[in-house]
Structures are given as C-alpha cells and as structure tokens.
Structure 1
C-alpha cells in the first residue's frame, strides 16, 4: 500500500509472492507495471509468482475484506490526513492471522528535518505529521491489531536528508548532497560489509525509519497462544 516507485514490490515478486502494488499516483504505477513486465521477460521472478498494479485511495481500498496474507505500508501514513481510516482499511483487507508491516519516519531524524527545512514538510504531498513509535503502535492496537515487535532501519540515509534539508530540498546540484547520494546508491547496489556494519550501529539511534510488525487476530476475542487476548476489531 503506497508502493511508490515499486522497490518493495519488485523484491517481493523476486521472492515468489503474488504481488499487488497499490498507489494513488498513476504515473508511478505505470513505471512499476513496466518493470514487472521487464522482470517477467528476464525471468527474475520464480514460476508461478504474479504481479499487478492497482490505483486508488488508501482510505477506501478497492479490495474485498480479508484479501491479503501480508501487507507492507512503507513511508505512506505520514502523508495521509485521516491516517486512522487508512489503518482501518489495511485491517479490513488483511486476512485473519495475516501480517502487516508499517514503516514511518523515526521521530528524532524527522524532527530535525522539520527544523532544518520548512519546504521539507510543507510541499504538496509531503509529510503532515511526525509519529512517535508509541503513538503509531497505540493507533494500530486501538484497531485490534497485535503489535509483535519493531526495529529501526536506514541509518545511513538520515545524514543525507539532513544535508538535503540544510542546503535546500530542491537543490539537487549541491556537491555534498550529490556525493552522499552516490554513496547511498553504491551501498544499495553493492551492499559492502563496511556500510552494512555501519548501518547496524547507526540504526538504533539514527535509523531514518521505524518498522512496526503487527498481526490481525485470527479469532477476535479468543486468547492467543501465550495468553495474549485477541481484540475484536469490529
């Protein structure tokens, strides 16, 4: 949900999933659809895996109840005014026992970005709120989802966004921002040990994103194994 340019959707397809890439932006989805086609031609996805795109609004998902085994909502809720409606829709279309992974910008890195640049958070379609992990988890729990755990990610990306905010988010030609961007691209493509270790150290403190994992109760009102009570989400 909110697939953007398709990074997560492509990886799921490579791993053999039946993927539905959903987004509001039809232009983004056109690029994702083309990449799905190229992956099929190159044999990048296992036989039997499927991938398609669907355009629509996260607050009114065009899918029946209990449609999906797993859902990723990565870096999207901070853009949506009525985030509780969007979360409720995710719960509705998730199958009982299904898993939902939600990522949002971490509080401290995001707070600094907002302080450095007004344009970062006032541009159309930009971030309209800063979550604490406690707030995000409380909202998900209030709908009936069970929170299973969390971690932080993308510690190497945080300094890049601080630089961007300091020099101007639209200043693509800034030498420092360009150099750091090249470093990130190199890291993503090559995944060298030195940057993987650096990110492991940075993530707990400076991770740009916090990832929260949840499960939809399989039987509302029936205790989970381990004594956790499942909450009626109706």
Structure 2
C-alpha cells in the first residue's frame, strides 16, 4: 500500500483576520476569496467554513473555489442560516439549504451530502446564549455563571431533543459537493 502525501494551505482575508485572530493567525496566504492566489486545478479538496456570509458576491467565491479544484475535487462548505451579526460591517448574508444548493449547482458542483448544524432546540439555545448571557453574567462571577448557564442550557436541549427536533430550523448547513469533471484537463501543482 502506498502512502499519499497531504498538504494543507490556509488562506484568510487581512481585513477581518486581524479582528478575529490578531497575531495568532496560522494562514499561509492572505487574499480576497474572489481571487485566490492559486493556479487552476490545484487542490483535491477545499474546506470553507463560515466564510460565505462575509463576502459581497458569494457566487464569484464559489466559482473561484471551483476554478482551483481539480476535476472531481471535493468542496466541504459550511455557512450559517441563523446567527447574530458578527465581524461587522463584513457580515452580508445568511443561507438556506436551497440558496446554497443554487450557488453550488450554478458553479457546476454536484451535491453529495447536506447536513444541518443543529436543530430548532439548539438554535433557540444558541440565540438565548448570544442575547441573554451577557445580561445575566454581570450579576454573577464569570466562571460560576458560565458553568451554570451552560449546564442548564445543555440539559434543556437534551430534554427538548426527546421531542421531535426540526432540522429545517438550524444554525447552518454543511454541504459536501463534487466539482463536475472537465475531462482531459491537466491539474496544477503548487
């Protein structure tokens, strides 16, 4: 059996990267996601997590990911459907499953799998934590407060999941898609 070599390259956008990570970023490349700094047909797999909501023209970003994927390459994409504003003012969209499907199919991707991130109960719990935790936390020491609230919310979600959860109301979606092959086109190496 032969071993296959794997390499990982991270990219980030300097405008939001500094606000999110400061000096601790591990990105190898810094670029606008609408113009990735790689030749066509470079990668076997692209993983893009929680990026699409931060770009003004997501259809261009999806096409750019398709450009740098090898034929039959895999895109693993996650995007939020329900989430508070963040990294303002660079927070533009929220995505339904149908919106993500449309973007991917228009860029010649075949959908392989679709997974909701959470359900109605976890979404309501997350919204509660995001909107109310700061108010309650001012009244209790932080560690005690965080532990108590997390325990209570986790327990409530466990009990609520005994009732039929609704996955159509979720925090977001993870989609695996395959780039539809362009036969006879050579791949690039970086």
Q: What TM-score do the two structures reach when normalised by structure 2?
A: 0.68
RMSD of Structure 2 on Structure 1 (CA):
3.6
Question: 3-state DSSP class of the match of 1:70?
Answer: strand
Partner in structure 1 of residue 106 of structure 2: 142
Any gaps of 5 or more consecutive residues in structure 2?
Answer: 184-190
Question: 3-state DSSP class of the match of 2:146?
Answer: helix
1:145, 1:214 within 8 Å by CA — same for their partners in 2?
yes
Distance of 1:133 and 1:211 partners within structure 2: 9
Is 1:178 aligned to 2:146, yes or no? yes
Q: What TM-score do the two structures reach when normalised by structure 1?
A: 0.57
1:120-166 CA distance string (max 9 Å, x none): 33762453222211111111111111112201124575344312443
1:213-232 CA distance string (max 9 Å, x none): 11012236xxxxxxxxxxxx
Any gaps of 5 or more consecutive residues in structure 1?
Answer: 1-15, 34-51, 114-119, 188-193, 221-234
Is 1:65 aligned to 2:54, yes or no? no
Give structure 1 regions of 4+ aligned residues with deviation exceeding 6 angstroms.
none
Partner in structure 2 of residue 217 of structure 1: 180
Distance of 2:49 and 2:65 partners within structure 1: 12
1:59, 1:86 within 8 Å by CA — same for their partners in 2?
yes
Please give the residue correspondences for 1:1-234 in structure 2 after superposition, counting only pairs within 5 Å. Answer: 17-25=6-14, 26-27=17-18, 28=21, 30-33=23-26, 53-106=28-81, 110=82, 120-121=84-85, 124-155=88-119, 158-167=123-132, 173=137, 178-179=146-147, 182=150, 202=165, 204-219=167-182
How many residues are paired up?
Answer: 164
More helix per residue: 1
